Chains A and B, each alone.
Chain A
Amino acid sequence: MDGMLALYIFMLAAFTGYEVISRVPVILHTPLMSGSNFVHGVVLVGGMIALGQAETPLEQAIGFVAVLLGAANAAGGYVVTERMLAMFKAKEKK
């Protein structure tokens, strides 16, 4: 990938992350930490491609670990975030 182009992506993504979070109320900080933890679970995709290109047993073994950990990050991150957010309810009108 073009290095300069990647640098622009880095920069814009950093500002995006900062802006998106700066308006989050304190009550959502824990779910948000968990939610952002889920989002970097996309590392799973990188792990899959690394494993897909692996040739030697060593590469396969490390690639397997990458996919295993990435899948755990994504699945676990989703479940706990969803569980927490499901509990936030406004006061029910009686």
Chain B
Amino acid sequence: MAIKWLIDASYFVAAILFILGLKGMSSPVSARKGIVWAGVGMVLATVVTFLTPGMNNFALMVIAIALGGAVAWISGKKVAMTDMPQMVAIYNGMGGGAAAAIAAVEFARGEMHGTVVTLLATLGALIGAVSFSGSVVAWAKLQGVMKKAFRLPAQNAVNIVLALVTVAVGGAIVIAPTVDPLLVVAFFVLALVLGTVITLPIGGADMPVVISLFNAFTGLAVGFEGFVMGIPALIIAGIVVGAAGTLLTQLMAKAMNRPISNILFVPMAAAGGGEAVEGEQKEVGAMDAAAMMRYASKVIIVPGYGMAVAGAQHKVWEMTELLEEAGVEVVFAIHPVAGRMPGHMNVLLAEAGVPYDKIFDLEEINGDFAQADVALVIGANDVVNPSARTDKSSPIYGMPILNADLAQNVIVVKRGKGTGYSGIENALFYKDNTRLLYGSAQQAIGEVIQHVKALSV
């Protein structure tokens, strides 16, 4: 009994640590402590589980933990910050897979106690399996393993029919007095196919929202399986993540002005739409760009994913420091969906050493553009497209954007004349006060740095 008490008490403490850990992450000051607390909770919960009376297969257990833990630990240490979204996706998918596998073991044992337990086990299995296969597809797309978005004819109808069939088979499992192995196998296959088919047509730009949604899904699946196993710590951790993930998904979708149902069912057209843009793009050299910023009193930098891909964030920070030494006020403006996940750009800038008190989000900074002498847009496109404010026919109309076009001057660092990730023309590039600095961000900013240095001597 003493052992039982120790285990229960440890799970209780672990649950507290998880919640405190997540709460700690609500401020940059305590965020690091937060993840360490949650980590302590995880180790505690894992260690005491070995003491559970009546367990077998310890050798298998240790091998599985060592193998899964080591592979994930090493890959997590090595992954580049730009590849973080797909890494989170794949770890999340594994959690969903684990929840589904737990349900599968329970089905194989055939010892379900009551309809409610079977119902939640089945629901958890469905959500977990969808999260697993969906996350793997999301990973493959962001990693570039899978290049194109596949759309079946009548995609939405296929999704709905498939979902209904899967739920029907799940319902049959719940109602059946004994576990039918064939039904269970069919159910898992259907759920895995469903996750794949839902995720396949979704474009890369919408993927962060989908990853966040699957994160919430996995949380729910874990919570349900926690009920099946009778472990309150799993219920609490799972449902807390489920709720938090749902809120986070909503925040992201709102930032993109794309209802979640739109992302899942009506993928954005790859190109076209919107009024034709008139005018021409006016080029600027690195020397003039450097002079414009060196003699400005306020510069707002708008970094986009293009900057991160070019690996230019360190150069950008070097330039920022030079400008500050010359007395220019420099701040960073980050769109909620800059990068591939909300907050991804903050991570990339933090990696380069930019302090977080120089970084402002959309609501904080949008009023300041009118007072800025220069807005420097680096590798960002759709998030500064004024058509989102003005052109009702544009596919991104209504999306909140950074009002870089209101600055006195706009410098856009851009690789070439093409359109952005979504394929939409950007009216900002054609405005009278906009100058384009062509080249990779790395090389263009490098040249600007040289010229700023020359001006400061």
Contact = CB atoms under 8 A, between A and B. Distances in A.
Given A21-B244, A28-B31, A13 B105 contact: no
A65 B222 contact: no
Nearest to B341: A30
A47 B98 contact: yes
A20 B45 CA distance: 22
Interface residues of A, number: 82
A37 B88 contact: yes
A44 B39 CA distance: 13
Contacts of B99: 43, 46
A17 B241 CA distance: 6
A83 to B, nearest CB: 7
Nearest to B111: A53
Contact of A46 (B64, B225, B239): B225
Contacts of A65: 64, 97-98, 101
A40 B21 CA distance: 13
B72 A75 contact: yes
Interface string A52-72: 111110111011111111111
A1 B117 CA distance: 9
Contacts of B259: none
Contacts of B71: 72
A87 B351 contact: yes
Interface in B1-51: 11, 14, 18-19, 21-23, 25-29, 31-32, 34-36, 38-39, 41-42, 45-46, 49-50
A42 B167 CA distance: 27
A33 B341 contact: yes
B183 interface: no
A44 B98 contact: yes
A80 B91 contact: yes
Nearest to A5: B232
Interface stretch (B55-63, B144-152, B380-388, B442-450): B55-63
Provide the main secondary structure of the chain A interface: helix
B347 A31 contact: yes
B64 A9 contact: no
B46 A48 contact: yes
Interface stretch (B155-163, B261-269, B352-360, B399-407): B352-360
B28 A36 contact: no
Contact of A85 (B32, B60, B218): B32
B92 interface: yes
Contact of A79 (B34, B77, B211, B234): B77
Interface in B333-362: 334, 336, 339, 341-344, 346-347, 350-351, 353, 355-359, 361
Interface stretch (B196-204, B245-253, B276-284, B432-440): B245-253
A83 B92 contact: no
Nearest to B359: A27
A9 B357 CA distance: 38
A39 B22 contact: yes
B87 interface: yes
A35 B66 CA distance: 21
Q: Among A29, A31, A46, A69, which residue has the most Cβ atoms of chain B within 10 A? A: A46
29 contacts: A10-B239, A13-B240, A14-B242, A16-B236, A18-B246, A21-B247, A28-B26, A32-B244, A35-B34, A36-B215, A36-B245, A40-B238, A50-B101, A50-B105, A54-B105, A59-B108, A59-B109, A62-B105, A67-B60, A69-B95, A70-B98, A72-B69, A78-B39, A82-B36, A82-B39, A85-B34, A85-B35, A89-B355, A90-B356
Given A70-B95, A90-B28, 6 more contacts: A9-B239, A42-B18, A45-B231, A64-B63, A75-B76, A78-B35
Q: Which 9 A-B pairs have the closest CB atoms?
A: A52-B55, A17-B243, A79-B76, A76-B72, A71-B68, A29-B343, A91-B355, A66-B101, A13-B239
